[in-house]
Structure 1
Amino acid sequence: MKRILLLTLPLLAACGPRYGMRVPDSMVKKLPYETRIELLEAENDLALAIDRVDEAGNEILRARDNIRRARSRAGAAEAELDRAEDAVSKEVAQLTIDEAEARVKYLRAKQHLNVALLEVEQLALRCAFARFELARVTAARKAKVEGSERLKPKEFEEQVAECDAEVKEERAELGADTSDEAKAREAWEARKAALAKKTFDAAASPYVENL
């Protein structure tokens, strides 16, 4: 955990001035052990924010793979439709195409939401970084570390407040993307149910692939 934070803090600081106000590391090194312990909660919050960014990125990769498979499935179903010789086989092939196309539309909507969520989590990480720096300035001033009197806690507090407000605003803007994703999933579920019903009326139908 400590190693992750040590690697991440310089990267965050290098991303630009946005919510990047920091307490000098040289000052933090002078903190007594008992005061450094008080930073653990802020460190843990920062580590959790890093994990959420990682998971959001992984979700984008998973959706990308699922979209690729769904396209391949649709192509295979179209080939099967061309080979079908009886009405039942043709109907099953067409239902499979419909399900695959609906799946692709759903996954694209989900991916759009995934990208938006990643951007929010990246901003939330900057907020966690800002809170971590606020904890550091509080600790430095509490321990009366030399030079800490020049730091202005209010400015660090304002940095946290502004960042949190921006995250709240961006999360609220996810409503439309969330709604589109839900509608696309509902449409796909309907196509999937129709295919399952035609192929032995089972959720475990060999023609139906769950995500």
Structure 2
Amino acid sequence: MKRTVKRVLPVLLLLAAACGPRYGLRVPDALVTKLPYESRIELLESENDLALAIDRVDEASNEILRTRDALRRAKTRQAAAQDEEKRAPDATSREVAQLAIEEARARVEYLRAKQRLNVAKQEVEALSLRCAFARFELARLEATRKAKVEGSEKLEPKKYEGQLSECEAAVKAGQATLEADSAQEKTAREGWEVKKSALAKKTFDARASPYVENL
């Protein structure tokens, strides 16, 4: 529990500062500190959900970095394949080099499509994190009002419920926009798989061809 709190609290402060008036409505900490131990335990589920949302944002960011590195390598391989074509000593070598160029180009196009999807996913996960923050604050409000903490009666539940509903609707809309990016990523990957198979078949007729680098 303590490890989760240590991780979540700094994020709460950052989110409150970043969100501003949008999805940034908070329950004063002074009220929460007055909660009895039993009420604090009831907050664990929403607190853990917030920690998981943080993990998903981190993973989305890491995937962007991994794809960026893969894209850089793919461009290097494309340039190398083009050089090989120029130095090809015979028709067979030239054909292999041309297939390698086509595979490299398809790989680059696929990775670009994947990166567009990655960025869109990161944006949705970041918004989902704000929703988790709003959900956590609503849970804090409900806990303070249930425990009849002095001052909690002045807070309006509808405002906290409203910011959560608005945020969840925005996430739903964001997820809907991912469909087009996902379709483009799938099409680009299938195109790359075709070029990769052609190159592998030409070079020792194996998926483990030394000319083909798997992602």
Pair in the same fold by TM > 0.5: yes
Question: Does 1:190 pair with 2:194?
Answer: yes
The normalised TM-score by structure 1 is 0.98
Question: Does 1:56 pair with 2:57?
Answer: no
Note the C-alpha offset of 1:187. Answer: 0.5
Question: Does 1:65 pair with 2:69?
Answer: yes
Which residue, 104, 109, 115 being the options, matches 2:113?
A: 109
Number of aligned residue pairs: 211
Aligned equivalents of 2:169 and 2:46: distance in 1? Answer: 19
Please give the per-residue CA displacement for 1:119-155, whole angstroms capped at 9, x wherever unaligned. Answer: 1100000000000000000000011111000011121
Aligned equivalents of 1:163 and 1:107: distance in 2? Answer: 30
Flag structure 1 segments of 5+ consecutive residues without an equivalent.
none
- Pairing 1:77-156 to 2, within 5 Å after superposition: 77-156=81-160
Please give the per-residue CA displacement for 1:43-79, whole angstroms capped at 9, x wherever unaligned. Answer: 0100010000000000100010000000000111111
Note the C-alpha offset of 1:158. Answer: 1.4
Q: Which amino acid aligns with 1:51?
A: D
Q: Which runs of 4+ in 1 moved over 3 A?
A: none
Aligned equivalents of 2:193 and 2:69: distance in 1? Answer: 19
Which residue, 166, 171, 174 being the options, matches 1:170?
A: 174
Note the C-alpha offset of 1:204. Answer: 0.6
What is the Cα-based RMSD across aligned positions, in Å? 0.7
Aligned equivalents of 1:3 and 1:72: distance in 2? Answer: 43
Secondary structure at the counterpart of residue 173 of structure 1: helix
Q: Percent of aligned pairs with the same residue?
A: 69
- Counterpart position of 2:51: 47
- Counterpart position of 2:6: 3
Aligned equivalents of 1:144 and 1:121: distance in 2? Answer: 34
Aligned equivalents of 1:173 and 1:99: distance in 2? Answer: 29
Q: Which amino acid aligns with 1:155?
A: K
The normalised TM-score by structure 2 is 0.97
Secondary structure at the counterpart of residue 174 of structure 1: helix
Secondary structure at the counterpart of residue 10 of structure 2: helix
Flag structure 2 segments of 5+ consecutive residues without an equivalent.
none
Q: Which amino acid aligns with 1:10?
A: L
- Pairing 1:199-210 to 2, within 5 Å after superposition: 199-210=203-214
User: Contact 2:53 / 2:129 at 8 angstroms: preserved in 1?
Assistant: yes
Which residue, 28, 34, 38 being the options, matches 2:38?
A: 34
Aligned equivalents of 1:18 and 1:117: distance in 2? Answer: 20
Note the C-alpha offset of 1:34. Answer: 0.6
